[in-house]
Amino acid sequence: MREELSGVLNLDKPVGMTSHDAVAAMRRLTGQRGVGHAGTLDPLASGVVVMLLGRATALSAYAMASEKTYAAEVCFGVETSTEDAEGAITAEAPVPTLSTDDIAERLQTLTGDVLQQPPRFSAIKTAGKRAYARARRGETVELPPRPVRIVEISPLGWRPPRLRLLVRTGPGVYIRALARDIGRLLDSAAYLHALVRLSSGQFRLTGATRLEGLTREELCRRMLPPDCVVESLPAIVLPASDERRARHGGAVHVRTSADQLEELTVRLYGESGRFIGLGRLQGNTCRPARVLEPLP
């Protein structure tokens, strides 16, 4: 039986493949069930999807919380049921005649901490079912607005009816919904025509791995260690006497430069430099929270 792979892969998802399809392909390639991803991309979108394998799946929440950057193309004149090119037309409006500078100025009102209403065709659960499943059956789906952060929206090119944008966001932002809102903001209607995720956290499209032709051996060479997704957290190295206790989930005493009154999440390593997992530090006590490699 092959050893389970544990690590992180920066994948370049192609157009036409769902994020779930990418997970299924990775499971076939590795022969293991322990595969997940950090941040869904729709089939019409391409670009960076962070894949988590084996014990690294325990760190998915940290990978998903990272900032993301997109190149998006918005088409004006119509809204669609899915808010992208696959949906039926639900509304029409004149294409804006604004200049690029005017558009850039108006777009600033959509940045910052804002409330965004998710698309009806999304994976959010409502009444115990996925919103897209209810919407496909013709049911009325009303999803409440959610707080999100949009860091930047900058025009890259404006050739009516198409507007190309650079978008930087926090987690949980639907670019389809942003396209819809941009259309309405500019007294028009719009849908997302194309989307490429350029980055997710420290992972960039320029260094991403294509799935086509990927072998298990190449995957092993390109895979990064699990702790790469939490490298922004402070690190503590435990002596050998405490490492075994921590790997079994026991609290350990550590020395810190100052009293830590509020609980702080930290990375834990053994003396050899091997990653143990995450701990919760308060004062001089560290309690392991997610142990990725317990000792036998």
CA distance 281 to 263: 6
101 contacts: CB under 8 Å, gap ≥ 6: none
User: Quick check: is 42 catalytic?
Assistant: yes
Assess whether 225 and 250 both reside in one domain: no
Assess whether 136 and 160 both reside in one domain: yes
Q: What is the pLDDT of residue 257?
A: 61
Question: How many other C-beta atoms can be found within 10 angstroms of the C-beta atom of residue 240?
Answer: 9
Assess whether 188 and 78 both reside in one domain: yes
pLDDT of the chain, 296 residues: tens digit per residue? 577 899 999 999 999 998 899 999 999 999 999 999 998 898 999 999 999 999 999 999 999 999 999 999 999 999 999 999 988 999 999 999 999 999 999 999 999 999 998 887 666 776 666 766 676 776 667 778 899 999 999 999 999 999 999 999 999 999 999 999 999 999 999 999 999 999 999 999 999 999 999 999 999 999 999 999 999 999 999 998 899 899 888 999 887 665 555 678 999 999 889 999 999 988 888 999 988 875 54
Confirm whether 1 is domain-assigned. no
Look at the chain and report how many structural domains it folds into. 3
Question: How many other C-beta atoms can be found within 10 angstroms of the C-beta atom of residue 249?
Answer: 12
Assess whether 194 and 82 both reside in one domain: yes
CA distance 296 to 224: 24
Q: What is the pLDDT of residue 47?
A: 97
What are the residues facing 114 on neighbouring strands?
148
Confirm whether 92 is domain-assigned. yes
**Three-class secondary structure of residue 4 per DSSP:** coil
Question: From the candidates 12, 42, 227, 242, which is the catalytic residue?
Answer: 42
Confirm whether 296 is domain-assigned. no
Confirm whether 146 is domain-assigned. yes
Domain final residue pick, 212, 229, 246: 229
CA distance 243 to 250: 9
Please give the DSSP secondary-structure letter assigned to residue 213. T
Confirm whether 2 is domain-assigned. no
Q: What is the pLDDT of residue 127?
A: 67
Which residue type occupies 63? A
Assess whether 165 and 217 both reside in one domain: no
Six token digits for residue 101: 């500078």
Six token digits for residue 127: 């009444």
Confirm whether 161 is domain-assigned. yes
The DSSP-derived string for 223-265 is PBPGGGGGTTS-EEEPPHHHHHHHHTT--EE---SS---S-EE
User: What CATH number is given to the structural domain containing 255?
Assistant: 2.30.130.10
Q: What is the pLDDT of residue 141?
A: 72
Q: Could you tell me the CA-to-CA distances from 69 to 235, 257, 270 in Å, in that order?
A: 27, 36, 35
Assess whether 92 and 167 both reside in one domain: yes
Q: Could you tell me the CA-to-CA distances from 19 to 44, 45, 49, 51, 188 in Å, in that order?
A: 11, 10, 8, 10, 31
User: What CATH number is given to the structural domain containing 138?
Assistant: 3.30.2350.10
Assess whether 145 and 251 both reside in one domain: no
Assess whether 94 and 180 both reside in one domain: yes
Q: What is the pLDDT of residue 128?
A: 67
Q: Is 76 left (phi over 0), alpha (psi -120 to 50) or beta?
A: beta
Q: What is the pLDDT of residue 1?
A: 56
Q: What is the pLDDT of residue 296?
A: 47
Q: What is the pLDDT of residue 71?
A: 98
Assess whether 84 and 176 both reside in one domain: yes
Domain that holds residue 269: 233-291
Q: What is the pLDDT of residue 263?
A: 77
Q: What is the pLDDT of residue 255?
A: 77
Contact 145, 115 (CB under 8 A): yes
Assess whether 262 and 275 both reside in one domain: yes
| Range list of β-strands (E), the chain | 7-13, 35-38, 45-53, 68-76, 78-80, 89-92, 112-116, 125-126, 129-130, 146-159, 162-169, 190-200, 203-204, 209-210, 235-237, 252-253, 264-269, 275-282, 285-291
CA distance 203 to 69: 10
Q: Which of 275, 265, 289, 290 is nearest to 228 (CA)?
A: 275
Assess whether 117 and 134 both reside in one domain: yes
Confirm whether 279 is domain-assigned. yes
Which residue type occupies 16? G
Assess whether 80 and 195 both reside in one domain: yes
